[in-house]
Structure 1
Amino acid sequence: MSSFLRESIAIKSTDEVALEIHINIFLSQKEHKKISFEMGIWVKKIDKKTSQQTLQIIFPYTQKENNNDKSEAPKIEDLSHLFKDKNKNFTKLIFNEELKDINGTLELNNKLISFQEITNVDFPSIKIQEIEEGNYYRFRIIDIEMDDLIIEQQCSSFIGDPIKRSIKTIGFHINNERNLRNLQNNDNKNRVENVLFECVNTFVVCNMGVDILDSMQEKRSFRVLEDYEVWGAYLDGCVNKNEISKAVVYQFKKEGKLSDKDNQNKNEREKFKDFKLFLRFLETENNKWGAFLTGSTIITLAFITNTLFYYVTEENITSSIIVASILLVVIVIFFYSKWEK
Structure 2
Amino acid sequence: MLTALYSIVMAPVLRAFFILLGSTTGVWIRFEKVRGDFFSYKACLDGVKLEIPDHLSCEVKTCSLEFSVLDFSLKTLIVSNVYLEGARLEYNHASDKDLLPPTLPPFLIRNLQIKESIVIFSDRSPKTLTLKAPTALTFHLDDYRCEALHSQYLLFNAIFTSQMVGRLEEAPFSMAYREEGEKGLSQWHVQGLPTQRLAPFVQGKLDLIEKSSMNISVSNEWLVNYDDITMTVQILIFDLLNFRSPALLPVPTKLLADALSVFINHQINQQVQEIPVTFQFKLRKDNFLDLKDINISDILTAFADALTKAILEKSLKNQMLMKDMGLLGLDTLLDIKKLFDKY
TM-score, scaled to structure 2: 0.24
Bigger relative contact order (CA 8 A; separation at least 6): 1
